[in-house]
Amino acid sequence: MGEIKKNRKRIPIVTATDNRYAIYTEVMLRTLVENIGEETTIDFYIIDDGLTERNRERLLKVIDIRPDYLELSFINTNKNLYENCLISDHITITAYLRISVPPILREKKYHKMLYIDADTLILEDIKELYDTNLEGKTIGAVIDPGQIKALNRLGVSSTDYYFNSGIMLIDLERWQEQNITERTLDYLKKEADKILYHDQDALNAVLYEDWKGIHPKWNMQTSLVFNRFSAPTKCYESLYEEGRNNPAIIHFTGHDKPWNTLKSHPYKEQYMDKLTIVRSAEKEVK
């Protein structure tokens, strides 16, 4: 088995979590593991924003589901860099920590990485997403349908669209070459009055015209699932519809989540079934 594992493709994936979101991170991680293909090993990194030992142990136990296909470790970043950043009821400083991770993963000799938010339900093998050709761009991401023209608000003169930062495929070498971490931090510091959507605003202000649009099925945000906004083009209209018909990752964006106030979402029941399994496993261990 060791030889087979050594010959598999290794895909680094990162998320960020704290104690409040640890149980939802476990749901995401479980659905990721359940869909791993036979030819892939996942190197999963969790940005640890103050997790208790108990929560770290719970997350590490997910490895037991498919031990030959998943390796999991925790990493830390300098939280003080973001202490003055805007937060809200469902977006904390934890969300900003992803900005500091690409240089850390580059030091580990990876060429690309995937960042995936914790409030997601993964329905397909992510290898297809990881293998996306970025065509010289720093990241791949999915358009944010409710903020298509938000660059003007950020002081950026461009006709480019605005992306959602909850799922990003990142070219680590190009990120380093373009000093994206430093430039994003600089924008957060100097343009704080323009920030409405946290780290996502700053990343868009820095990465505009340097991101490749990937298929919406890889980040089916709540607004896309409910078709709340008109697509900017006929092409995007078709892509939105394809995503609704065959989603690969469901992203529960916004304040309304399956575990609180979200209603009528077609994937809420499936998510809550997974969450029930996680909660039951937690009770058994206690």
Q: How confident is the model at residue 34 (pLDDT cuts 50, 70, 90)?
A: very high
Q: Domain locations in the chain? A: 2-285
The first and second tokens of residue 116, run together, are 């995936």
Q: What pLDDT score does 2 carry? A: 45
What span, in angstroms and rounded, lies between the C-alpha atoms of 256 and 260?
A: 6
Q: Span 198-213, mean pLDDT?
A: 96
Query: What separation in angstroms does the CA of 2 have from each of 5, 43, 114, 207?
Result: 5, 15, 25, 40
The first and second tokens of residue 178, run together, are 């373009």
- Residue 50 region, left (φ>0) first, then alpha (ψ -120 to 50), else beta? left
pLDDT at 269 over 80: yes
- As a whole number, the mean pLDDT across the chain is 92
Neighbours of 235 (CB within 10 A): 9
CATH architecture of 2-285: Alpha-Beta Complex (3.90)
Q: What pLDDT score does 80 carry? A: 76
Query: Whole-prediction pTM value?
Result: 0.93
What span, in angstroms and rounded, lies between the C-alpha atoms of 138 and 135?
A: 9
Q: What pLDDT score does 87 carry? A: 64
148-163 pLDDT tens trace: 999 999 999 999 999 9
Q: What pLDDT score does 1 carry? A: 38
The first and second tokens of residue 195, run together, are 């920030």
